Amino acid sequence: MSRHFYGTELTSPLMLGTAQYPSPEILGDAVRAAQPGVVTVSLRRESAGERAGQAFWSLIKDLGVPVLPNTAGCHTVKEAVTTAHMAREVFGTDWVKLEVIGELDTLQPDVFGLVEAARILSDDGFKVFPYTTEDLVVAERLLAAGCEVLMPWGAPIGSGKGLNNIFGLRALRAHFPDVPLVVDAGIGVPSHATQALELGYDAVLINTAVAKAGDPAIMAEAFRLAVQAGALARKADPMEERDMAVPSTPLIGKAMLA
């Protein structure tokens, strides 16, 4: 398990989204409680309104957490590439979380457009973090397009359903043992994040589960502890599952009653 992404080591395997919080103050409290390795920011959302984006960007800079801009809300390759270039100018980073949405009900990525946009941005010097599915063929195409990180979904964005396809996520981890992998989307509670780290994923990205909690700061702290537990469990090399019971108390040396 590694926290190195494009040569940069993150301080935490927790990535935190910054959308949907009730207020900037609550967002700040949540970020401080989560102590994330990076926060994600949508240029399209935060640049809207009457100079609201500038106030938001000032808040993020004051928190002192590395920023991963994203292309949330983009549905075409052109739209995503244009947004990524704007984000590089605004946030001063060549990192970008690439989203090209293809289906409105599930917000499933358009994997064909995603690969095309990833190739264009990689050629333009971007370090691309693609929001994708757990499909192995798509993963191969993204890596060939220049991506060094993959961000498969756990479940549809904002659904809170957790890790819907454990087999697929486990297969992706096994097939690409040296590629940094981040479970992105669908995580609803801290135990989902722990499970992702136990599977060997390098990080998780959380947004709605924290922002929409009754107390975002407390939930953010819970996720901070959850990813620590998952990472430690993975490092400890967990026991394998068994189909039959095995007694935890040995029979040798145990008194036998007639």
pLDDT in tens, 78-123: 999 999 999 999 888 999 999 999 988 888 999 999 999 999 999 9
Looking at residue 251, its pLDDT comes to: 63
pTM: 0.89
Looking at residue 242, its pLDDT comes to: 84
In angstroms, what is the C-alpha Rg of the chain? Answer: 20
Closest CA to 98 of 138, 61, 53: 138
The set of catalytic residues is: 97
Tell whether 208 is in a known binding site: yes
Whole-number Å distance between alpha carbons of 222 and 177: 28
Return the amino acid letter for 98. L
Tell whether 207 is in a known binding site: yes
Looking at residue 57, its pLDDT comes to: 76
Looking at residue 257, its pLDDT comes to: 60
What tokens appear for 251 in the block? 């029979």
Tell whether 174 is in a known binding site: no
3-state secondary structure 183-201: EECCCCCHHHHHHHHHCCC
Helix (H, G, I), strand (E, B) or coil at 106: coil
Q: Is the dihedral of CA 17, 47, 129, 6 positive or negative?
A: negative
Domain positions in the chain: 10-236
Other C-beta atoms closer than 10 Å to the C-beta of 169 total 22
Q: Give backbone dihedrals phi and psi of 218, rounded to 5 degrees, phi first.
A: -65, -40
What is the CATH class of 10-236?
Answer: alpha beta
Helix (H, G, I), strand (E, B) or coil at 152: strand
Q: Which of the four pLDDT bands, split at 50, 70 and 90, describes residue 45? A: low
